[in-house]
Structure formats: structure tokens, C-alpha cells
Chains A and B, each alone.
Chain A
Amino acid sequence: MGERSDVWQGTLALMILRTLEVMGPLHGYGIARRIEQTSGNRLLINYGTLYPALLKLEQEGYVASEWGASENNRKAKYYRLTRAGRKQAQRETRDWERANTILARFLAPQERP
């Protein structure tokens, strides 16, 4: 099984943004499922933490929500990326990639002086 790790909470926001960027508008359950899929089912999200994360993104203006009909004609709340959210996603992606490159140098076998 996967791990429920708190370390991933910090990156949850970015994962949500990227998911919405790729998939378009989705409801909460769909986002959670998609994140799990993208991680190759190696990550199991505590769904309880997903909604506060979504709310925070909405409060900050990166994501907008509205009620709509789901596949099974259920009333569900759909989340979509705003323009600001799109820019934020790109910004955070860049930051992470930069951090990863630097970190990689430490994780690679280092040369002794």
C-alpha cells in the first residue's frame, strides 16, 4: 500500500493546481483520485486534508468553484483553475524544479576533496 505521509502536505497545493491544469474542472473526489493515479498509486491522500487545501487555494484566488452536475447527475462542487492560479502553478513548478536540481547534486555520490 502507499503511505499517508505529512511530508506531502506541503506539495498538495501544487499537485492540485497541476491536476486542474491538465484535467480541467474537477470535483474534489475526482481531484483526489487523479492525484493518486498520477503518483502511480504510491500516494494515498488523506481526503480530509484535501478539502482544506482546496479551500485555501480558493481563498487565495488561484482556484474558483461552482456547483454543477457530476457524471451520475449528482450535485457536486467543481473546482477550476483561474488565470492567477495558472501563473502560480507555473511559478511553483519552476521553484520545485530548481530546488530539485540543487538537491540532486547532494544526493549524487559526492567527490571527496
Chain B
Amino acid sequence: MGAIRGWLSRWGELFRRGRSESEFSAELETHLQMHVEANLLRGLSPEEARRQALVALGGLEAAKELHRDQRRLPFLDSLPQDLRFALRMLRKNPGFTAVAVLTLALGIGANTAVFSIVYGVLLKPLPFPDSDRLVMISLQGRGVDRGPMGTADFLALAERQRAFTHVAAYTPSTLGFALTGFGVPQMIPGMAVTPEFFAVLDTPPALGRAPRPEEGRPGGELAAVVSDHFWRQFLGADPAAVGRKITLEERSYTVVGVLPPGFRYAQGGEVWPVLQLHPPTERPPYWLIPIGRLRPGVSLAQATGDASRIAAEVQREFPRSEDTLAVAAPMKEMWVGDERPALLLLFGAVGFVLLIAVVNVASLQLSRATARGREMAVRTALGAGRRRLVRQLLTESLLLAATGALLGVAVAYLCVRALALLSPSTLPRMNEIAVSLPVLAFTAGIALVSGVLFGLTPAFQSASPSIGESLKQGTRTSCSRESHRAHNALVAAEFTLALVVLAGAGLLIRTLAKMEAVSPGFNPGRLVTALVALPDARYSKAADVTSFFDRLLDRIQGWPGVESSAIAASLPPNLLQLTNPFHIEGRADRPGQPAPAVPEIPISDGYFRTLGVPLLRGREFSPADRAPGTHALIINENMAGRYFPGEDPIGKRVQTGEYNPKSDFYTIVGVAGNVKYEGLAAEDEPAMYVPFTDSGWCPWFVQSMYVVVRGGTTSAASEALRSSVSSIDRQLPLIRVRAMDELLYDSVADSRFRAGLFASFAGLALVLAATGIYGVVAYSVSQRTQEIAVRMALGAPRGSVFGLVLGLALRLAGAGVGVGVVAALALARLMRSLLFGVSPADPVAFMAAAVLLALVAATAGYVPARRAMNIHPTAALRGE
């Protein structure tokens, strides 16, 4: 307490500018006068009186200096001098300075870049007021851990909830909304939301107002909120834009509000039409994502309890449904929680790289320490205390670290820009990744720690050098055995760290290779896909939808070069749209256990043929399956094996959807091969296919369909698609025309990104380790020149000298790698969730890493070894 006051007072002295100095002089003068008077009274002569007074004081200047040291902070006083000296030293050794600064810049820069990602994605609060009170609410059950709600559930929640100040829901629209009336029809990204959406986020529109409750009810006016960007682009930044109408999906919406610039929810969007929820007759479908803002003082557990209470009530109102539990989870966690393991792993890996860089610079410092031993000895002889010496060393190292950090920030800035271009679009909150102030604070922090670490290494090394010894030694003597050992230990440590990073990179690269090698279940070559979304306004009847797609497939087929085409509601490798539970005829449901929900996909007759999926039993769909009253079903191999083992599933009947004894029976007519719909890494699971014309699906679930075309070049197929669509309906946009190869490539984008980043860290680690070991071996040779010369003079063959030096390099690397393998085996377990088809102890990855490092060590040791080999014994021994 008193000590803190003391510190603060000393800092405050910086601002008092010399007043205290003159004050104390006056005080000392008074003191001396009093002492002199007392001495005079004792009978001393005036000169003796003054002399004895001064002696008792311990010397005027000494007294002033002691007082000054107590008054101020001595280290600040010596700072300018230390800095000047440090700058001079660094300038005198440009080689050392350049290597050190570059090394630090790489290490600090890489760490800053990764921390930008970690901070922007994981740590930074969401850009809404009091964002930690925001939660997402999901329904639990049906084999899904956290699922969307249906209209029934959400309306009940909105009406009966007690835990939230506001609740709202939205339906994620990956396609956006077709905007017409502004020239060419375009798809505008956005989400359909309930009226309270902006109240939950506590972001009132900058212009106009938030939607009103009546606009969320059927019969009310259709309202929409737009973004600032949309307002500028389409409404001419008109201050009276509120009240104007825009046409979305062929419906007329009134713009009621314009959001402030910079508003962004999840993947972003420009337009938010207000949902009008009709009172439901069934509990499914589950299509809404509810969010809420917790009331002050209400905990997450209480909110979950509240939501579950309502879910249970709804289940009682719809007894055929099953879900009785709801969960409230923090919004940020839901958005970024999945990324945490990978990002933290990357952060750890790049931290290792920084350590290697620091060890490198520490090693360099040690090499200089011997040369500077004399300097330190002279300083000590002149009266510098240990603290003063340490201060000098630290000033130098912190100066180096600061320079490295500045350069590193520039490097990081470039890296972050590059990352923005290269990282997969699946990374959440990508727009929040930037080299911002908190990130710079982190940079300053690691620069400080690094500087202290490698700055103090020489200090540790020279425990208590006797001044006499240091002054007596010439600069040419071999350095102490401790110095060698310290050097060697540092380099071995570098190789340990490098091996861990390399092994990690190896594991991720193997994972990527394994994932890319997975067979997706179909033939992806020469396939082009696109999405067609039929607006409800003109395609609300089954006949319209069916006719459109029939004509479309016909037109496409007629195009030259097209081999076959088809449509489907879901597309491999990871574009699954809908799952459904099912119930096999004649098999009793296990009570209390919800039926599993598996992919169910409406398709056209030529689907399997077009994709190249093998048909194992039975037949594909045909026009005969369109007869009224028929419901045909094709299942996949996995479903056949699991639910009809050892028997022929053809002819068996299945009901799909929420279990209802009165619902239609579907007859199995064929068994197709397994296809991946949930990513290449997913395990095979059951899947069902129905004709898209089936009365249970058409038109409501088949208005958005993927079109697949096989044949010819990508551009030819795309052209076929585009012209066919526009020839039937000119107002329909064709979305996301992409080759299947592209879809496959993108589906492993996450894995590829991680492997790429890790590999670049590994590359960095390799380079740093290489320079490290080169430095140490070269230094060792230069220090042992005389010893080597003696050996040669005594008859040792050149080859043995070469082997000696190279052996040193390999031994150091070997020790480091050995320890590294143990460490990596332990740490690799943490990576398990990111690996696919590869065990954390994968021998290939580890061996490759070890061999690579051994090669690096051998190459780095080669040059010094050759130099050693070519030492002329006589010249070396003569030149003292």
C-alpha cells in the first residue's frame, strides 16, 4: 500500500522538473549550517567545522546522488544513454542485427496474424449492444442435437416466454431474394425475419422504424427492412425512402426501415423481409431459427428451462410429435464454437514458431556474449552494478524486439489481407479479422516477453564472471564449455519445437489427402450444377412446377453435347437440404425412441444415370411412377443393409415424415449406391429418394432444385443450362452455376486451409531451425579453429574433421528430433477432432518430419564442415 504510493510518487517526479533538486540543495545547505554551528560551539575552527560536517554527510555530491536515486526512477534516467549505446552496438554488427530483426519479424508477424484471426473470430464480442445476453434457442430431439423450430413452437414461445425481453426468429436463406424492378433481376442476400428481430439485437433502424407486430401476421402489410448499402444502391440514398415499395420474389414489400451502416448479422445481408406466420395445423416443418435477448438477471439455465416448459406444452398440443426439450445457448458460441479447436491449435503451432525464433536470437546473443565479456568486465570494474548491466542488455534486446515487432506488424497486415482472400467462406466472422488495437497490444506483449527472454540469456550464462579472468582473456580463446553446452541445448530445443510443428503439418496434410481420396459415390467428371428457384407467386401449383422442370430437362437434353441431365433437391457432396424420419411397414417403433431422420431427396428420373451412381437392385424412377396414388421410393445401399439385411427390400413399404399411421405408404422400387450428402468425411448413412412429382412433395418442397448436366465442356454445359432456363421463363435467375469438381474441391476447403496454414508454419519453422543450426555449427568451427588445426597437424585426415563437424550437426538435430517425437505424440492427441483417416500417431507423418529435419541439419552443417575440412593447419596455428 505504502509501497504503491511510493512508486507512484517516483513516477510523478518525472513531471516536477528539477524543482526538487534545488529544494533539496537548500535543505542540505541548512543541514550543513546547523552542523557547522554545532561544531563551532564545540570549539572547532571554521574550516575544520565545515570539513567534519561534510565528512559526516558523506560528501555533498554523494548525498545529492543518493537522494536523487530515491526521488526518481534510476532506470528511466539511464534510458536515453542506454538506448544510444544499444543503437550503436546494433549498428556496429549489421549482420547480427539484420538476422535477429528478420527472425523476430517473422515470428512476431506470424503470431500477430494468427492472433488477429483468433481475436476476430473467437474473442471479440459480437457487434451488438450487450451481446453476451443474446442467445439462440433450439429444439432438441429427432437425433439432432440442436435443431430449428417450427411455426407452432415459435409462436408458442413468443407468446408464453418469460425469460427474454424479446424473441424473434429468422429463416436462413442461402439464395437470397429475387429483386425485380431495378433492371435485370438480381438475387439480394438476406433473411426473412419476424418483427421483433431488430429489437432482440437492440439495433433500431437509422431511418424509419422497426417492423410492427401486425406486419408479422397474415393479412397485414408486407414490410421489409433494408441495409444502408441497399438504400444507397437501389433507393438513391433518398431520405424519404421509407414507405417506398420494392418487389421481392414477385411480391410487393414496403420499406419500413433502413439500418445503420455497418450492421451485420452472421453472413451478412442486404434485405430483411418480415415473415408472416400462419397458425399451424402441424408441428413440422422445422424451418425457423429463434433468437432471444435474456432479461437482466436471468441465467442461461433458467432460459433453457423456460423454453423447455413451452416445448413440452407444444408437444402435448401435437401429440404425434416428439420433441419436449429446448436449449438456449449463447449466440457467439453457436456461431464460432466449432472453430475453436482448429483455431487454438493453429495459435499453439505458431506460438511454437515464435519460440524457435526467440531461441534463434538467444543463440545469436550467446555467440556475441563471449565477445562482449570484456565489455561487461570493464563496466563492472568501473562500478556498474549487476542491475545496471542487466538494464543495458535488456535495452538492447527490447530495442531489437521492438524493431522486429514493427516489421512483424507490417508482415502480419499483409498476411491478414492474403488470408481474407484465401480462407474458406465457412469461417465465421471473417469480416471481423483485422490487425486492430487489441491485436497490437498482443504484439507489444509478445515482443516484450521475447525481448526479455533472449535478452537475459547472456545474463544467465555469465553467472559470476570474475572480472580479472575476463579482462585477461584474449578474444581468440575458445569459449567456455558452458557456452558450448548452452548453444547446443538451444539448437536441440529448436529442433524439438520444429518437429512438433512439422509433424502436425504432416498429419493435416495426410488428412486432406485422405479426404480428397474418398469416393463420393458418383462420377464427378464433366458435371455442371446450378440452382433454380421458382417463385411461389407463379409456381404455386404442382402442375406448373412439374411442367417447368419437364420442359427444362427436355430443352437441356436437346442441346448438343449433353449426355444426360436431372434435377434433385439435394446435391452431393455437402448440399443436403432436408431430412425426414421414416417408419417401415410392419415393424413396431421402439417406444420413446425417436425415429432417425435421414436424407430424403426428391429427384427426376434420370438422376442416378446422370450422376453415375450405380443401381444395385430394382430400377430407377419412370413416368409410370407419376400415376395418381402411386408412391415410389428408392433407398440406398446403406439403408438396405441396415434395415433389410439378408432380404430383398424391393416391394416393401415405408412411411416417411412424422409418424402418422394414416400417411401414405411408399413402395421401394430400387436400391442405389451410397452417395455422400453431408461432406466427404461423413460416414455413410441411410438415404431415400422420391420422384419430385410425388404428391407428398410437389409443389411445396420442390420449388428450389439443383439441376445437374453431364456432357461436353463446362462452358458448353453452363450455356445449355442458361439458355434452357431463360427460354422457358425469362425472369428466372440461374444461380450458382458450378462444375461438380469445384463443389468437391470447396467441400474440403476447411481442411485445405488448415493444412495450408500449418504447412506454412512448418516451412517457417524449418527455415528458422536451419539458420539456427547453421549459426551454431559455424560458430563452433570458428571457435575451435586452433583445436582443429592441431588435430590436422597431428595427422588427422581431412575426412575425419568433416565428419566431426557434420556429426555435431546431426547429433544436435537427432537429440532435438528424439525429444520432439515424444512431445509430438503427446500433443497430437489434441488434434484428433481435426484428423480424418489418420491416427494421431501416424508413422508416415512423423517419419517424414524427422527425415526432413535430418536433411536440413545435414545441409546446414555441410558448409561449416567443408570450411573446417579446408583449414590450413600451419596458417591457423601461426595466426594468433
A-side residues, CB < 8 A to B, are 27-29, 44, 46-49, 51-52, 55-56, 58-62, 70, 72, 74-77, 84, 88
Contacts and interface: CB of A to CB of B under 8 A. Distances in A.
Contacts of B6: 56, 59-60
Contact of B58 (A46, A72, A84): A46
Contacts of A58: 9
A35 to B, nearest CB: 13
Given A49-B58, A55-B67, A59-B6, 14 more contacts: A28-B27, A29-B35, A44-B56, A47-B56, A47-B58, A47-B63, A49-B66, A51-B24, A51-B27, A51-B67, A55-B71, A58-B9, A60-B3, A60-B5
B2 A74 contact: no
Contacts of A28: 27, 31
A76 B6 CA distance: 23
Contacts, number: 72
Contact of B5 (A49, A55, A61): A61
A44 B2 CA distance: 28
Contacts of B37: 72
Nearest to B61: A48
Contact of A56 (B30, B63, B70): B70
Interface residues of B, number: 28
Contacts of B71: 55
B31 A52 contact: no
B653 interface: no
B34 A59 contact: no
A72 B37 CA distance: 10
Contacts of A27: 30-31, 34
A52 B3 CA distance: 15
B709 to A, nearest CB: 84
Given A48-B59, A51-B24, A77-B30, A62 B2 contact: yes
Given A46-B58, A51-B67, A60-B6, A74 B27 contact: no
A45 B28 CA distance: 15
19 contacts: A27-B30, A27-B31, A29-B31, A46-B56, A46-B58, A47-B31, A47-B58, A48-B63, A49-B58, A52-B67, A52-B69, A52-B70, A59-B9, A59-B10, A60-B2, A61-B5, A74-B33, A74-B34, A77-B23
Chief secondary structure at chain B's binding surface: helix
Interface in B12-63: 23-24, 26-28, 30-31, 33-35, 37, 56-59, 62-63
The 8 closest A-B pairs by CB, nearest first: A48-B58, A60-B2, A48-B63, A52-B70, A59-B9, A59-B6, A60-B6, A29-B34
Contacts of B23: 77
A75 B29 CA distance: 10
A51 B66 contact: yes
Contacts of B34: 27, 29, 70, 72, 74, 76
Contacts of B2: 60-62, 84, 88
Contact of A48 (B3, B9, B30, B62): B62
A74 B30 CA distance: 7
Contacts of A74: 30, 33-34
Contacts of B9: 58-60
Nearest to B65: A48
A27 B27 CA distance: 9
A70 B66 CA distance: 25
Contact of A75 (B5, B10, B30): B30
Given A47-B58, A48-B66, A59 B5 contact: yes
A88 B3 CA distance: 12
A48 B60 CA distance: 8
A105 B34 CA distance: 44
Contacts of A76: 27, 30, 34
Contacts of B5: 59-61
Nearest to A30: B34
Contacts of B3: 60
Interface centre among B37, B56, B59, B62 (most CB of A within 10 A): B56
A72 B35 CA distance: 13
Contact of A47 (B24, B30, B57, B70): B57
A7 to B, nearest CB: 17
Interface centre among B10, B23, B66 (most CB of A within 10 A): B66
Contacts of B58: 46-49
A72 to B, nearest CB: 7
Contacts of A48: 57-59, 62-63, 66
Contacts of A56: 6, 70
Nearest to A65: B27
B30 A70 contact: yes
B575 to A, nearest CB: 71
B24 to A, nearest CB: 7
Contacts of B33: 74
A40 to B, nearest CB: 18
B1 to A, nearest CB: 8
A20 to B, nearest CB: 15
Nearest to B23: A77
B62 to A, nearest CB: 6
Nearest to B37: A72
B435 to A, nearest CB: 41
Contacts of B63: 47-48, 51
